[in-house]
Each structure stands twice: as structure tokens, then as C-alpha cells.
Structure 1
Amino acid sequence: MSIVAIVLIVLAAVLVALALSAIRIVREYERVVVFRLGRLRGARGPGLVLVIPVIERTRWVNLQIDTADIPPQDLITKDNVTIRVEAAVFYRVVDPIKAVVAIRDYQHGVLRIAQTTLRATLGQHELDDLLAHQAAINDLLEQTIDAATEPWGINVVKVETRDVDLPDTMKRAMARQAEAERERRAKIIAAEGEFQAAERLSQAAGVIGREPGALTLRTLQTLAEVASEHNSTLVLPIPIDVLEAARRMAAPATPNGSSVR
């Protein structure tokens, strides 16, 4: 084999290698940012993308939703309570050119912005607000972080505070507060029950007072209920009017219709 043939074979292999290196297969959720001799040429994809070897350089950007786990952050709330909070930020790249050109490492930048925003935002609220309005706090964090990352072509989808760790002394204080609150509600409910019972008893007394024999019937009914449940001797005072009524009913009647005394 001559030298010319060897050179032609080598050149052909080099050309084939260069042609293969010029082909890029970009998936649907990816984009390729192309630089030609250091100058931005735009974002390409998805599908088959041709890149000039040696002259053009590429940066791959993923458009899927990514997650940045914020490590536990120690902060002081507005009411001077020290807490530790963990959170997660869900974001996606909406402008691959900005994500490559405007910032060196957008993933690291999102994480740092999320950490500082978490401490600054939660430090402006009291502990009760953080625990009771967690959804509103998450929305506020989302809006603040999204506004900071918008120049980088990043859209914050969601922010979730996963865990709020309280000191042991604060947990005990909150437990005592919850117990006191339950006792207060129990007393209020008992007082409401006494008030309603008193109203019903007042209405019942009014009904019995309108009929003289109602009190006697109620007394006899109570005696019957007690006697059926308890086998014991009862001493119960009988009203005078009951004895008078019984004596009048037992006295013989006179010819003119009056009873004999």
C-alpha cells in the first residue's frame, strides 16, 4: 500500500469522525445552546442538530422540573423564637439562553437565593403565623424566589417548607397552651349546658305552676321511678293541699250536696 493511499484512508477516517461529532440528537426536554468562536448563536433542538466541529461549542440545558433541597436553616422569628426549617424548591428553565449566559451555575444560584429568601421571609413572621398559615408562607416564598431568578430564565414552580423544628421548651409551652385552651372550651361548653338546662327548668316550672295538680302528678311519678330502681324505704313529705284534697274526696256528702265536716 502506497503512502498516498494511507493518507487518504486517514483523511477519510478523520472526516467521518468530524461528521459524526457534528451530529447532536437533542431530546424533547432538552435544548442545546451553541457558541461559534465564543459568540452566542442561539438555542437549538429538539431533534437532529448539526454543529460545526472545532468552531462551535455547545451547552446542554434540561427543561424538566428540577428540585433544590434547602438544608436546615436556623432562624429567629419575629417574636424571638429560634426554629430550624427545611424546605424544597421546584423550578424549571424557561429560557435556556439566559440560564447559560446570565449566570455561571443556575442550579447553585437557585439554591443560594432560596436559602437567603427563606431566612429573610420567615424572620418577618411570628411563630403562630408560620404554623397556622403555612400555605400562604409558601406562596410568598415562591413569589419572592421567582422574582429573583426571573433574570436567569428560571421559573419557580413551587416551594414547600417540609419541617419546622421547635426547641423542646417551646414544644412544652405550646402543649400547656393547648391544654389550657381545651380546658377553657370545656368550661364554656359546661356553662352553656347549665344555662340551657336552667332555661328549660324555668319553662317547666311555669307549666307546672299553671296547673295545681301537675306538681302532685310529678311527685308521684318521681316516687314510682325511684321505687322501681331502688328497693329502699323513702320518707317524703306530703303537701297539705294533697291531704286536704284527699279528705274532701273521702268525706260523705250531705243531702244538699255539701260534705260533712
Structure 2
Amino acid sequence: MKILFTICGRAGSKGIKNKNLRDFLGKPLAYYTVSAIDLYLKQHNDLEYDIVINSDSDKLREMMDKNPMRKVELIERNSSLGGDTVGKVDVIFNCLEIMEARKKCKYGMVVDLDITSPLRRVQDIARVITTHQETGADVTTTVATARRNPYFNQVKKVEHGYKKVIDSNFTARQQAPEIFDMNASIYAYKPEFLSSGKGVLEGYVECVEMYDTGILDLDHINDMELMQIIAKYLFDNEEEFAEVYKNI
């Protein structure tokens, strides 16, 4: 089976200006994703693969082309896929179509890794790929245990005051169904599912749980600052996180 690893990044950002081009603890943020893929492939020398970056940013494509770890194929994103309302699945499918035509091959799996998730471990990638293969899921993605539960301690505004997001009689969190946050770090897709036009959660989905406090959404400059504080601690104390940093 041949795997296509996709990395998708737009130019600019509304929350953090040019966040895909920024440094993270002194190293390019985008290189953390390539480093994690590189370390996974070093553990699987017999795996057939390609890595591709799809972006409308000339600077990001140039940066990835010059990365010191693995060859990354370049795709200049079509302007029709650059708007705020375009789903990432459409971009990933575009990667698949272009790369199958370019390499004259068929991929058995597409694995997408988000640039803004620098705190992933090699074992996270391995678990997603293994789970995807073993279950036959349409999509396998990563999650973290939610710190709040809509059955118990989340509320929504209604016409008169507030009420639980989901009506229930649970008096303890442990009684409520287990809830997870999607952390948008790693996704594995069946190629045929990508071509179906369905949304990420519209097929058979499996999940792999990741280390929770290591994953934040980089939507505001404060998020970047906080994540770097967490990252520094993890790199100093947890070798599974540190190896990705050291490998760049």
C-alpha cells in the first residue's frame, strides 16, 4: 500500500498573521509536521509514500521545498479552493487527484497532518494509520478527552436564561456519555471516501486519543505563546515530543 501524506496551508490568517510561516521555539512551525512524518518513515523503511504541500503561499511552498528532512512535492492551490468557506476535504481530494496523475499511481490511504499541530508524537501517526488499516474506517482522526460535557456542565443561552446543551438528569460527570474534542491534528482517509463528496463525519469514523494538554488551536497570538510554553516543558521532559523538535 502506498500512502500520500498531505500538508495543506493557506496564505495569511485572520487570527495569527501568516501563522503557517512563523517560527515555533526558533524553528519553522511547518517543519514540525515534516519532522513527525520523517521519523515515522524512518521506522517504516519499506513503506511506499509521497509527501505533498498544497498552498497558495509561494513562501510556504518554497520553505517546504527547502526543508532538510524529506522531499515534499509542491502543489500551487487553485484559487477556487482558497476561500474561507471551502472545506479542507476538498483540498485534500485535490492533492489526491493531482498526485495520482503526477506519479501515475493509486494510493491506498491519504494521511493529512495539520501544520498548526506541532505537538504530535510519532506514535500518534502510527496509531492512526494502524487503526485505519485494521478497522477499514472511511476516516480515522485524532481526538482528546473533552474537559466539559454537554450532558452535564455545558450550557447554552435560551429565550429565558440558560440550560444544559443536552437535556439530561445526570448528577455527576461520570454518569454522562464520554465526550471527545476533535483536535484536527491527524486524519487518515480512504481515497474512495474523499471522492464521494461527503463531509468528514458522514462516513464510518474511528478515533485515536492524543495527549490532551499538548493540543491547542492556534487561532490567536496568545495561543501561540501559550503553546510554546507547553512545548518547552514537553520537549524538556518527554522524549517522545522532544524527538520531533530535535529532528528538525
Q: Report the TM-score when normalising by structure 1.
A: 0.22
Q: Larger radius of gyration, structure 1 or 2?
A: 1
Q: Relative to total residues, which structure has the larger helix share, 1 or 2?
A: 1
Structure ranking higher on relative contact order (CA contacts 8 Å, 6+ apart)? 2
Q: Report the TM-score when normalising by structure 2.
A: 0.23
